[in-house]
């Protein structure tokens, strides 16, 4: 019997080659094939089941995470999966775990900040998971201000050791994932003190637990910090606390690529910039941008499929009601998010390239592109995660009441996703880093130093400050050069206006603090320009497949014009466009939505997400939503009994009280 497909008609409407779009989304045919294989492998394995996750107690959820991690590790070894495939497996298992920090931060910290001897000693054990590590930077009192950390690592020349100590309550390490219950080791960030002098924050490899009994080593207090937001979600992670009471480690456990301490206790700063101590964060911020497109695509896939199934109002002559996806308001809320998922995918690909490039340069001691890599990773991490977090909530609302059910998949996705706006750098703090970089670039204009990379457009400031947008009709907004120039002009004008305002302050730091809300807006304008320009660049590539490029052009225009509509105030106030041109952009946007509409279901099918990964009844591939919702309701433990536990003790006495009250 042929399987039921409630979306069959929608799928027939598609005007492009779906298989080719799947390859564009995956990045290459090879990536598509690997990812498809791993997704199916995970979906068909009962150990990776997750449909009962939000019902588990914290302890059961944690044990389930350990079980999944052990099973994942066994599969990785048995099937000889590459690191790339293992990472795909991690994504599809879809359960935050200590392994994220071990592979995503502990190992990269040693690789980026350790010497070759340290690599030889620690990496083989870490790669085999004979030791498990975490990244212990944040403290109870300080997270954003890394220079404000209080943990000390004092060198003792007599024993050739560092003495690690937590001098205050606020110096307790607080938040590191994997620390609470699992890690045997940590890269700990502490103030280096030699000869009574404070040399700032550096990384140290510290063993925390015994490798035989898993008990904390002497002088170490360690535990979990407690339940976090939502059920299921990030509670599978053992975010931990850690205190040191004069714990001794050998000198060679300080990560010494950036600076060294000699046997005599002399502090030596190498040619490598001290910012490399922050290098692991740059790496992870880059991965967070790629992950943002996955989370956004997932929410959008659920909301789009459900919007095509759901009908409300408008039945004529007894015919079917209107699919909610046909309401213009639904389209104007949903399609920009669909376009953003594709936009973030492409900017994530580009950022990965940028990161690989800067890493190769760093290995050759070329540090010239580090500031730009920092600004791009910080800014795009901030922008993409903020948009994605808001978008998941918007998708919940787009699904009406059923979106609030746990089995819509959206509440847990929201709960697990929102901390990305905070971890790896609070999003506002990161935007202020971008703003600093932009203000520095503006201050160097005219000095002969030509801006390059993502700030190259500032080199054309003279033109961009006075150019006029030539749009006369709605369709003029479809010209890539018109869109790009409007975004470049807005970004440069906002940057230069802020730089001028800063110049009015006698103390630049006072000015920066006072104008920080405006500076955040400047940074956002710059980041949006990067995303728009990378989408446009993607369209310059040869993209095979019937109708594929056309759909991407439509999505690119939706992405750019919805931003223009949303930030119309910026564009008009800076004189980049007139109010009438803004109205024409909005008119064009409405026409674009009509072009997205017949392709919407196929555009989310292109993400190639399994029902297991989506974890959503509303987003299931076959669209058989109502029957599944009905069946699922009966599986709730509350429905195990017809009369609930507690009826006799609590309900019945209330129900019967009217008899007594009536007697009073």
Ligand X SMILES: Cc1cc2nc3c(=O)[nH]c(=O)nc-3n(C[C@H](O)[C@H](O)[C@H](O)COP(=O)(O)OP(=O)(O)OC[C@H]3O[C@@H](n4cnc5c(N)ncnc54)[C@H](O)[C@@H]3O)c2cc1C
Applying CB under 6 A, the residues found at the interface with ligand X are 101, 135-138, 142-144, 175-177, 234, 239, 419, 422-423, 425-426, 428-429, 432, 516
| Integer Cα distance of 126 and 132 in angstroms | 6
Q: Is 161 helix (H, G, I), strand (E, B) or coil?
A: strand
**Contacts of residue 495, Cβ cutoff 8 Å, sequence gap at least 6:** 438, 439, 441, 442, 458, 522, 525, 526
Q: State the minimum distance, in angstroms, from the CB of residue 229 to ligand X.
A: 9
What is the x/- site pattern for ligand LGZ2M252, positions 260-299, by CB under 6 A?
A: ---------------x--x--xx-x--x------------
Task: Candidates 379-387, 428-436, 559-567, 644-652: pick the segment binding ligand LGZ2M252 (CB under 6 A).
Answer: 428-436
Work out how close the CB of 25 gets to ligand X at its nearest, in angstroms, rounded to a whole number: 28
Span 58-97, contacts to ligand LGZ2M252 by CB under 6 A: 65, 68-69, 72, 83, 86-87, 89-90, 93, 95, 97
Give the residue among 419, 101, 125 at the shortest CA–CA distance from 238. Answer: 101
For the CB of residue 182, give the shortest distance to ligand LGZ2M252 in the complex, in Å.
11
Tracing tokens 């099918």 back to the chain, one arrives at 605
CB 582 within 8 A of CB 568: yes
At residue 225, what are phi and psi to the nearest 5 degrees?
-85, -10
- Cβ proximity to ligand X: between 202 and 562 the closer is 202
User: Whose Cβ is closer to ligand LGZ2M252: residue 68's or residue 493's?
Assistant: 68
Interface positions, 338-377, toward ligand LGZ2M252 (CB under 6 A): 370-371, 374
Residue choice 166, 194, 293, 433 for contact with ligand LGZ2M252 (CB under 6 A): 433
Contact present, 199 and 61 (Cβ < 8 Å)? no
CB of 386 to ligand LGZ2M252, least distance (A): 15
Core vs surface per residue 354-390: b (16+ CB within 10 A) or e: bbeebbeebeeeebebbbbbbbbbbbbbbbbbbbbbe
Nearest-CB residue for ligand LGZ2M252: 104
Task: Count Cβ atoms below 10 Å from residue 98 Cβ, excluding itself.
Answer: 26
The response to whether 177 counts as a known ligand-binding position is yes
- Cβ-based nearer residue to ligand X, 428 or 572: 428
Query: Residue 129 interacts with ligand LGZ2M252 (CB under 6 A)?
Result: no
State the angle between helix axes of 516-540 and 370-398 in degrees (0 to 180), rounded to the nearest 10.
90
- DSSP for 393-441 reads HHHHHHTGGGGGSGGGSHHHHHHHHGGGGTTTS-HHHHHHHHHHHHHHH
Contact between 442 and ligand LGZ2M252 (CB under 6 A)?
no
Category of 314 on φ-ψ map: left (φ > 0), alpha (ψ -120 to 50) or beta? left
Which of ligand LGZ2M252, ligand X, none does residue 99 bind to, with CB < 5 to 8 Å depending on kind? ligand LGZ2M252
State in angstroms the smallest separation of the CB of 126 from ligand LGZ2M252: 11
Given ligand X, ligand LGZ2M252, none, residue 489, with its beta carbon under 5 to 8 Å by kind, binds none
Distance in angstroms (rounded) separating the CA atoms of residues 445 and 512: 19
Kindly tell me which of 176 and 348 has the beta carbon lying closer to ligand X: 176
The nearer residue to ligand X, 238 or 570, going by C-beta atoms, is 238
Dihedral sign computed on CA atoms, order 277, 143, 207, 288: negative
Closest separation in Å from C-beta 330 to ligand LGZ2M252: 33
Asked if residue 47 lies in contact with residue 67, where contact means CB atoms within 8 angstroms, the answer is: yes
How far apart CA 3 and CA 448 sit, in angstroms, is 67
Residue 617 binds ligand LGZ2M252, judged by CB under 6 A: no
What residues are paired with 268 via a beta bridge? 260
| String of contacts with ligand LGZ2M252 for each residue 162-201, x by CB under 6 A | ---------------x------------------------
In degrees, rounded to 5, the angle at the alpha carbon of residue 273 between the alpha carbons of residues 268 and 279 is 115
Comparing CB distances to ligand X, the nearer of 62 and 175 is: 175
CB of 184 to ligand X, least distance (A): 16
249 in Cβ contact with 158 (< 8 Å): no
In angstroms, what is the minimal distance from the CB of 108 to ligand X? 12
CA–CA separation, 646 vs 653, rounded Å? Answer: 11
32 binds ligand LGZ2M252 (CB under 6 A): no
Residues carrying an active site annotation: 424
- Find which of ligand X, ligand LGZ2M252, none residue 239 binds, CB within 5 to 8 Å per kind: ligand X
Cα gap 370→375, rounded to integer Å: 9
Three-state SS at 201: strand
**What residue 232 binds from ligand X, ligand LGZ2M252, none (CB within 5 to 8 A, per partner kind)?**
none
The bridge status of strand 185-194 relative to strand 133-136 is: parallel
- Look up residue 651 and give its DSSP letter: I
Q: Could you say which of ligand LGZ2M252, ligand X, none residue 428 binds, taking C-beta under 5 to 8 angstroms by partner kind?
A: ligand X
Binding residue per annotation — 154? no
Q: Name which position in 10, 100, 238, 521 contacts ligand LGZ2M252 (CB under 6 A).
A: 100
317 binds, among ligand LGZ2M252, ligand X, none (CB under 5 to 8 A by kind): none
Q: Kindly state whether residue 332 participates in binding ligand LGZ2M252, applying the rule CB under 6 A.
A: no
Residue 432 burial (C-beta neighbours within 10 Å; 0-12, 13-18, 19+)? buried
Asked if 221 interacts with ligand LGZ2M252 (CB under 6 A), we say no
What is the C-alpha to C-alpha distance for residues 231 and 226, in angstroms, rounded to an integer? 13
Annotated binding site: 138, 177
Annotated binding site for FAD: 138, 177
Residues near ligand LGZ2M252 (CB under 6 A): 65, 68-69, 72, 83, 86-87, 89-90, 93, 95, 97, 99-100, 103-104, 135, 137-138, 143-144, 146-147, 177, 275, 278, 281-282, 284, 287, 370-371, 374, 423-425, 429, 433, 436
């Amino acid at each position: 019997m042929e399987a039921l497909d409630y979306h069959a008609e929608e799928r027939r409407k598609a005007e492009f080659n779906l298989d080719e779009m799947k390859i564009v989304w995956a990045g290459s045919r090879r990536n598509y094939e690997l990812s498809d294989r791993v997704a199916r492998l995970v979906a068909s394995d009962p150990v990776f089941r997750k449909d009962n996750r939000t019902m588990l107690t914290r302890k059961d959820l944690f044990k389930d995470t350990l079980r999944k991690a052990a099973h994942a590790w066994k599969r990785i070894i048995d099937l000889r999966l590459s690191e790339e495939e293992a990472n795909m497996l991690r994504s599809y298992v879809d359960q935050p775990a200590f392994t994220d920090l071990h592979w995503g931060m502990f190992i990269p910290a040693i690789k980026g900040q350790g010497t070759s001897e340290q690599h030889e000693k620690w990496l083989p054990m870490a790669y085999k998971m004979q030791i498990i590590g975490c990244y212990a930077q944040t403290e109870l009192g300080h997270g954003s201000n890394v220079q404000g950390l209080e943990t000390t690592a004092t060198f003792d020349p007599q024993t050739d050791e560092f003495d690690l100590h937590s001098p205050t309550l606020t110096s307790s390490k607080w938040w590191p994932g994997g620390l609470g219950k699992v890690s045997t080791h940590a890269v700990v960030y502490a103030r280096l003190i030699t000869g009574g002098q404070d040399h700032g924050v550096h990384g140290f490899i510290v063993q925390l637990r015994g490798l035989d009994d898993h008990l904390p080593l002497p002088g170490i207090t360690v535990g979990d910090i407690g339940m976090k937001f939502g059920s299921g979600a990030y509670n599978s992670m053992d975010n931990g606390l850690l205190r040191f009471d004069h714990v001794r480690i050998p000198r060679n456990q300080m990560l010494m690529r950036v600076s060294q301490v000699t046997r005599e206790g002399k502090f030596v700063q190498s040619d490598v910039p001290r910012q490399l101590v922050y290098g692991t964060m740059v790496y992870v911020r880059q991965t967070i941008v790629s992950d943002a497109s996955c989370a956004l695509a997932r929410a959008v896939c659920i909301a789009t499929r459900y919007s095509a199934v759901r009908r409300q109002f408008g039945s004529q002559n007894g015919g079917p009601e209107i699919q909610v996806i046909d309401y213009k308001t639904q389209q104007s809320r949903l399609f920009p998010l669909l376009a953003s998922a594709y936009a973030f995918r492409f900017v994530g690909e580009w950022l990965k390239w940028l990161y690989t490039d800067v890493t190769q340069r760093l290995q050759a001691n070329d540090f010239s592109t580090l500031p730009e890599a920092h600004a791009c990773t910080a800014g795009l991490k901030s922008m993409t995660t903020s948009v994605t977090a808001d978008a998941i909530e918007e998708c919940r609302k787009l699904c009406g009441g059923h979106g609030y059910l746990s089995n819509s998949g959206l509440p847990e996705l929201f709960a697990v996703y929102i901390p990305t706006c905070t971890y790896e750098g609070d999003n506002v703090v990161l935007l202020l880093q971008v703003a600093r970089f932009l203000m520095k670039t503006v201050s160097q204009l005219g000095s002969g130093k030509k801006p390059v990379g993502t700030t190259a457009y500032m080199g054309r400031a003279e033109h961009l400050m006075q150019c006029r947008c030539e749009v006369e009709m709605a369709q003029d907004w479809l010209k890539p050069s018109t869109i790009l120039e409007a975004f470049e002009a807005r970004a440069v004008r906002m940057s230069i206006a802020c730089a001028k305002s800063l110049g009015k302050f006698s103390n630049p730091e006072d000015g920066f603090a006072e104008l920080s809300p405006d500076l955040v807006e400047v940074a956002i304008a710059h980041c949006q320009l990067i995303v728009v320009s990378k989408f446009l660049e993607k369209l310059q590539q040869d993209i095979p497949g019937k109708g594929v490029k056309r759909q991407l052009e439509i999505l690119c225009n939706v992405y750019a014009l919805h931003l223009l509509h949303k930030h119309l105030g910026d564009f008009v106030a800076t004189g980049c466009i007139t109010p009438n041109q803004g109205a024409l952009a909005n008119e064009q946007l409405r026409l674009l939505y009509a072009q997205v509409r017949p392709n919407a279901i196929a555009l989310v099918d292109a993400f190639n997400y399994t029902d297991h990964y989506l974890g959503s009844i509303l987003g299931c591939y076959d669209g058989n939503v109502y029957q599944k919702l009905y069946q699922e309701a009966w599986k709730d433990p509350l429905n195990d009994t017809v009369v609930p536990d507690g009826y006799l003790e609590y309900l019945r006495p209330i129900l019967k009280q009217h008899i007594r009250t009536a007697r009073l």
